[in-house]
Amino acid sequence: MARIVGGITTSHIPAIGNAIAKNLRDDPYWKPFFDGYPPVLEWLDRTQPDVAIVIYNDHGLNFFLDKMPTFSIGAAQEYRNADEGWGLTPLPPFRGAPELSWHLIEGLVAEEFDVTSCQEMLVDHGFAVPVSLLWPDRTTTAPEGQIRTIPVCVNTVQHPLPSPKRCYKLGQAIGRAVASFPEDLKVVVIGTGGLSHQLDGERAGFINKPFDLMCLEKIVDDPESLIDLSIHDLVREAGAQGAEFILWMAMRGALQGQVTKLHGNYHIPISNTAAGLLLLENAA
């Protein structure tokens, strides 16, 4: 049977993609950020997951306001990255895992999460940056040796956004669906985005370190203490785009075993954002 071996949370700021492309890992601005990742890469190397379920938000590459699904899931052999308009060079396509995708879709709809299934789905920096951070050799690896991925996209562009509780429950349903997949697969769930940041308005540049640190602590051992936050609470406390924390909550919901924090990092600022990283092991 398939099982979820762990969860990882990471920010997905576009500037990170630029720093990777320009190899700025040792630059003084970037070093405290990139230095957080080697323990996670070592764990991935040791654990060798077969599939990554990547929970992210589209920022206006695949979806526009004409049709804005609250939850959508990729069900394709591969996912293409493309020009987002402000300078990141598109990356080679990401390998899919369509059989597990359809199993997730079946399981989620059976549990009353009426997701949008996507057989074609452009993935933007919200998906691509975390995969590049966690599998830095992907683009130089033959496709059959690359991590297989399933994009799970949550609307954080146009309110109303799904609540932290709803996203946590979505994660729980993903966890149950993975556990009922007959193939013997190791699955890692990635929650992307966050932590506190705001790009728009007179409050642009807003960062809330005490709130972030509280979330980083509670999400490990007491995630249910966070599910009654409203989206309005998140926007107020974490900034307009800090509401992406709902993606972390979805990741956490998928971990239903014994959860142990193996590693974490928190650094301010990367671009306009407080960058957070967590590695959570999920034991049976």
Partner 1 sequence: MRQTPHAEQAPIPGTTIFDGRMAMKGYALNKMCFSFNEKANRDAFLQDEEGYMDRYGLNEEQKQAVRSRVVLAMIAAGGNIYYLAKLAGIFGLTVQDVGAQQTGMSVEDFKAMLVEAGRH
Is 181 within 8 Å of 2 (Cβ atoms)?
yes
Contact pick of 1, 31, 47, 87 for partner 1 (by CB under 8 A): 87
Shortest gap between Cβ of 59 and partner 1 (angstroms)? Answer: 4
Spatial distance between the Cα atoms of 190 and 202, rounded to a whole number of angstroms: 32
Number of residues that bind partner 1 (CB under 8 A): 43
Shortest gap between Cβ of 75 and partner 1 (angstroms)? Answer: 23
**How is 105-149 classified by DSSP, letter by letter?**
HHHHHHTT--PEEESS----HHHHHHHHHH-TTGGGS-GGGSPEE
Site for partner 1 in 162-221 (CB under 8 A): 163, 165, 198-207, 209
Q: Which residues are catalytic?
A: 125, 197
Site for partner 1 in 120-159 (CB under 8 A): 157-159
> Any contact of residue 22 with partner 1 (CB under 8 A)?
no
> Any contact of residue 86 with partner 1 (CB under 8 A)?
yes
From the list 220, 255, 249, the residue with the least C-alpha distance to 4 is 255
Site for partner 1 in 259-278 (CB under 8 A): 267-269, 271-272, 274
Distance of CA 238 to the CA centre of its chain: 17
Compute, in degrees rounded to 10, the torsion defined by CA atoms 200, 203, 205, 207.
-120
Nearer residue to partner 1 within complex by CB, 106 or 217: 217
Shortest gap between Cβ of 27 and partner 1 (angstroms)? Answer: 15
> Any contact of residue 235 with partner 1 (CB under 8 A)?
yes
Phi/psi at 73 (5° precision):
-130, 135
Q: Which residue has the tokens 């999400």?
A: 219
Shortest gap between Cβ of 185 and partner 1 (angstroms)? Answer: 34
Is 54 within 8 Å of 134 (Cβ atoms)?
no
Nearer residue to partner 1 within complex by CB, 10 or 81: 81
Give the type of residue at 59: H
> Any contact of residue 31 with partner 1 (CB under 8 A)?
no
Site for partner 1 in 56-85 (CB under 8 A): 59-61, 64-66, 82-85
The mark string for 212-231 relative to partner 1 (x by CB under 8 A, - otherwise) is ------------------xx
Alpha helices, H only, 111-244: 125-134, 164-179, 209-221, 231-238
Shortest gap between Cβ of 242 and partner 1 (angstroms)? Answer: 11
Angle between helix axes 164-179 and 245-254 (nearest 10 degrees) is 30
Applying CB under 8 A, the residues found at the interface with partner 1 are: 15, 59-61, 64-66, 82-87, 157-160, 163, 165, 198-207, 209, 230-232, 235-236, 240-241, 267-269, 271-272, 274
